[in-house]
Amino acid sequence: MNHLLILVLAIVVKLVILRREMGALALVVGFTVVGVLGFWWNSPWLGALLILSAAGAAIGGLPALRSSWLTPKLFSIFKQVAPKVSDTERVALEAGSVGWDGELFSGRPNWRVLMDNRNSGLTDEEQAFVDHQCSVASGMCNAWDIANERADLPADAWNYLKKEGFFGMIIPKEYGGLGFSAKAQSAVLQKLSVNESLMVVVGVPNSLGPGELLLKYGSQEQKDHYLPRLADGREIPCFGLTGPRAGSDATSIPDTGIVCKGMHDGKEVLGVRLNFEKRWITLAPIATVVGLAFRMFDPDKLLGETEDIGITCALIPRGTEGMEIGRRHAPIGSPFMNGPIIGKDVFIPMDWLIGGTEMAGQGWRMLVECLSVGRCITLPSGASGSGRYMVGLAGGYTRIRRQFNVPVADMEGVQVPLARIASMAYIARATVRHTANMIDAGEKPAVPSAILKSQLTEFQRQMVTDAMDVHGGKTVTLGPRNYLGIGYSSTAVSITVEGANIMTRSLMIFGQGAIRCHPWVLKELEAKDNNDIDAFDTAIFGHIGMAAGNVARSLTAALGIPTGETPFYGDAGRYARAVNRFSASFSLLADVAMGTLGGALKQREMLSARLGDVLSNLYMTSMVLKEWHEGTKVAGEDALMRYSCEFLLYRAELAIDEILDNLPSRAVAIAVRPVVLPLGKRWPMPSDKLVARIARDISTDTPLRSHLIEDTWQTHEEGQQENPLARYNALLKDNERATSLYKVVNKAYARGELPTTALHPEQRAEEAYKAELISEEDYNFMVAYEADVLDMLTVDDFAFDELARNKSKIVWHNGRPKAKRKAVPKKSEAATDE
């Protein structure tokens, strides 16, 4: 019995020391004390073994002892196996900052890092802009009109955007801009995402573009000239980065700039002769100033001894000789302005380089730092905003659409996608909101930008697919009434641009994060590059201590012993403890993958993607918990918070299981699995009860529905385009009364109290009124209500020859019709025509 007590005590002491990463000295003291107790309690062999373990820990763990024999050997091995970091990769690693993502990499996240930066929301000025200007701009746009009638925003919309400063949100007020926070910029784009083209037109100039580059790197002369003109729309910018041979691998830019002398404004000056071919450049067809990335060379050494100067950025006015611009690409689904730019022997003076000659060769750093912020805002905000509209539209439609005598929102098969839409919209909203708040606090979240871009645009694709599914025939029929179809087809754009999701997930989230966010790896590599054995000793043994701690934390947490502190309570506290546990498991698996694969991990993209999935889901769970902690907590939100966290934690655990299934070293995988998943996978998908509750709440007039669709375009003013969300909101306010009348009328019909020929709801209401089953007031209400419902269910139809772009190719199968019938107009259009 004494042997067992000593053994258990030794294990407990070891786990406590490792969980808290107390260091080798604590381990030596702990083993020594328990070893002495072993001798005291008549277990001498265990006591001796523990004393020997203490001696081993001292020799291998105490700095004074290990530095003379162990550290040099480890340093020699590390130099041989450590992956080489290219200059390009180093720039990416050094760009941006590390915050909460680094805590998740540590295996013992400090929640105060996340929670201390409270989200104060928008200023009154910013909120007023979202409420008014964004509503006006949204009301000017109809997806069908933009996509099929004009292939552009209406002229009055362009003028309004310029007049109200939409293109200058990030430009400080001293230059004529709005000077908005990142949170406000995100809120604007979320509201404008009611229309894809509108969101893109506003988003791009405020994201990766000359404006942001000028603010951070431009000369004062460049700022004074361009920023006021960009702010008020006199200049429309674009940025030429990608081309036929440089897409996701933007560092492989083949476009060149040769330093030479040339003529400019009648004088010979030092400049750059450019040759380039760019593709997929948003706003290029209408841009007045082009930001251009190119590879700069100085073969004649006019600037110095370096010939290959590197990637450089310049500003080129539209009319510059040799530059061809104006043609268009046709982006799938949404015809926002996008096109090629070609330059042949374009000479520009040196002062057209962004930041001047001093910033030559700094283009990649400039782009990476701007991308890390822009990727956190533009497309993720579009995804979040789309999710809000999907909640409102899908919830509204499925409540008023009745089949089998019940609203389709009450059918369990429909409730599954409705709940998924609501959850993904909630997750996206929380993730975008709090990451933008980090940016406002001065962070430049590089790894989170990759998480947001890839994960939330994938959510967007799922949400719009689910919304299309529950709408059925309503949204597979294109026309002015279809408020989803064009957005559905354009979703592929968000998936592809600003770093294709496949590449971002497979290479960037973990591939960049493994070095950038890991507490020790970057320090180890820097020690290697600097040949600093003392720095290496600190880093490598800090790394070993962290890994050992993660073994202890992961195992004990999986067995039900919580690790780390959290600021939450109730279910939120349980989910936060799960984040702590999976953070330890993720950090351990990251070390296992790097340790067993070394530099070859770069090529194991499927494994890297799954590691990135774990980090992504833990990051998003954290954002949901922060939103829940700081938010208003409306009725029903607890169910949505639980669904969202359980959904994300299920995905995180599934990714961990797949990592263990696919680690190349099977012996290591078999050894690690009992530590990480000793009881197997334990997180189930959210329950059916949660699904049903959420689906009901977003398809009826509830506080939760109002909360999820706040700051969307919900108004309809005279002269504006039709607003389906506003109409659904109005119908849902009357739905409870309509539902009670449906029951009365349908029961009477089932009992045979109404004529069997009364098949339409309006007919049954009329017959029920005649039979005095409902009042005249109820009858009039039902007639008006059903008229509005039918109008929302109606789809467009067109004249036989209207859809053909080339009328000469029409085959008239039954001869030309005598009369052409126009597409069914909406109520507002009919009223205007009259």
pLDDT above 60: residue 830? no
The contacts found for 317-321 with CB under 8 angstroms, 24 or more apart, are 317/288, 317/289, 317/290, 318/287, 318/288, 318/289, 318/290, 320/346, 320/348, 321/346, 321/347
Q: Which residues pair with 212 in a beta bridge?
A: none
CB burial of residue 570 (10 Å; 0-12, 13-18, 19+): exposed
User: What are the residues whose beta carbons fall under 8 Å from the beta carbon of 681, sequence distance 6 or more?
Assistant: 653, 654, 657
pLDDT above 50: residue 282? yes
Round to whole Å and give the CA distance between 728 and 723.
Answer: 9
Instruction: Output the CA–CA distances (angstroms, integers) from residue 436 to 103, 118, 280, in the order listed.
Output: 18, 12, 27
Question: CA angle, 206 as apex, 713 and 492 as ends, to 5°?
Answer: 70
Q: What is the DSSP letter of 821?
A: -
Strands 256-264 and 289-297: parallel
Q: How far is CA 569 from the centre of its chain?
A: 27
Nearest in space to 602 (alpha carbons), one of 104, 184, 82: 82
Buried b (16+ CB within 10 A) or exposed e, 478-501: bbbbbbbbbbbbbbebbbbbbbeb
Number of residues that this document lists for the chain? 834
Buried b (16+ CB within 10 A) or exposed e, 94-119: ebbbbbbbbbbbbbbbebeebbebeb
At residue 365, the pLDDT reads 83
CB burial of residue 212 (10 Å; 0-12, 13-18, 19+): buried
Residue-by-residue DSSP string for 328-389: ----SS---SEEEEEEEEEEEEGGGBTT-GGGTT-HHHHHHHHHHHHHHHHHHHHHHHHHHH
The three-class DSSP label of residue 302 is coil
pLDDT above 80: residue 829? no
Instruction: Output the CA–CA distances (angstroms, integers) from residue 48 to 18, 40, 41, 62, 312, in the order listed.
Output: 21, 12, 12, 20, 66
Round to whole Å and give the CA distance between 776 and 782.
Answer: 10
Segment holding 271, helix H or strand E: strand 267-282
pLDDT above 70: residue 1? no
At residue 592, the pLDDT reads 94
3-state helix, strand, coil in the chain (%, to 5): 65, 10, 30
Round to whole Å and give the CA distance between 581 and 561.
Answer: 10
Tens of pLDDT, residues 375-404: 889 999 999 999 999 999 999 999 999 998
Between residues 330 and 375, the one the model is more confident about: 330
Instruction: Output the CA–CA distances (angstroms, integers) from residue 136 to 130, 131, 141, 156, 544, in the order listed.
Output: 10, 9, 9, 11, 58
Confidence of residue 832 (pLDDT cuts 50, 70, 90): very low
Nearest in space to 99 (alpha carbons), one of 87, 111, 90, 88: 111
AA identity, residue 219: S
pLDDT above 90: residue 345? yes
Strands 289-297 and 402-403: unpaired
Confidence of residue 520 (pLDDT cuts 50, 70, 90): confident
Round to whole Å and give the CA distance between 190 and 137.
Answer: 13
At residue 68, the pLDDT reads 86
Q: Give the number of C-alpha atoms closer than 13 A to the C-alpha of residue 298, restricted to the C-beta side.
A: 18
pLDDT above 60: residue 823? no
Round to whole Å and give the CA distance between 49 and 35.
Answer: 7
At residue 169, the pLDDT reads 95
Round to whole Å and give the CA distance between 664 and 671.
Answer: 13
The three-class DSSP label of residue 260 is strand
Confidence of residue 821 (pLDDT cuts 50, 70, 90): low
At residue 93, the pLDDT reads 67
**Torsion-angle region of residue 751: left (phi > 0), alpha (psi -120 to 50) or beta?**
alpha
User: What are the residues whose beta carbons fall under 8 Å from the beta carbon of 358, sequence distance 6 or more?
Assistant: none
pLDDT above 90: residue 434? yes
The percent of residues in the chain predicted with pLDDT above 90, rounded, is 71
17-21, 660-664, 681-685, 762-766 — which is least confidently predicted? 17-21
Residue 301 structure tokens: 């050494």
Segment holding 228, helix H or strand E: helix 220-231
Which residues are designated catalytic? 498
The three-class DSSP label of residue 272 is strand
pTM of the complete model beyond 0.85: yes
- Asked if 582 and 649 touch (Cβ cutoff 8 Å), the reply is yes
The end-to-end CA distance of the chain, in Å, is 96
CB burial of residue 235 (10 Å; 0-12, 13-18, 19+): buried
Residue 801 structure tokens: 């020859």
User: What are the residues whose beta carbons fall under 8 Å from the beta carbon of 604, sequence distance 6 or more?
Assistant: 593, 597, 664
pLDDT above 90: residue 618? yes
Confidence of residue 92 (pLDDT cuts 50, 70, 90): low
Confidence of residue 824 (pLDDT cuts 50, 70, 90): low
Which one of 231-240, 646-655, 757-766 scores highest in mean pLDDT?
646-655
Between residues 9 and 140, the one the model is more confident about: 140
pLDDT above 60: residue 134? yes
Confidence of residue 87 (pLDDT cuts 50, 70, 90): low
Nearest in space to 87 (alpha carbons), one of 326, 251, 202, 221: 251
AA identity, residue 190: Q
Q: Which residues pair with 406 in a beta bridge?
A: 403
pLDDT above 50: residue 50? yes
Q: Give the number of C-alpha atoms closer than 13 A to the C-alpha of residue 759, restricted to the C-beta side.
A: 1
Tens of pLDDT, residues 238-263: 999 888 888 767 678 899 999 999 99
pLDDT above 70: residue 98? yes
Round to whole Å and give the CA distance between 655 and 614.
Answer: 6
pLDDT above 50: residue 831? no
The contacts found for 80-86 with CB under 8 angstroms, 24 or more apart, are 81/598, 81/599, 82/524, 82/525, 82/528, 82/598, 82/599, 83/598, 83/599, 83/601, 83/602, 84/599, 85/515, 85/525
At residue 834, the pLDDT reads 33
Q: Region 122-145: what's the mean pLDDT?
A: 95
Nearest in space to 173 (alpha carbons), one of 122, 215, 203, 116: 215
Using the Cα atoms of residue 25, residue 27, residue 29 and residue 31 in order, give the sign of their dihedral: negative
Q: Which residues pair with 296 in a beta bridge?
A: 257, 310
Average pLDDT of the chain is: 91
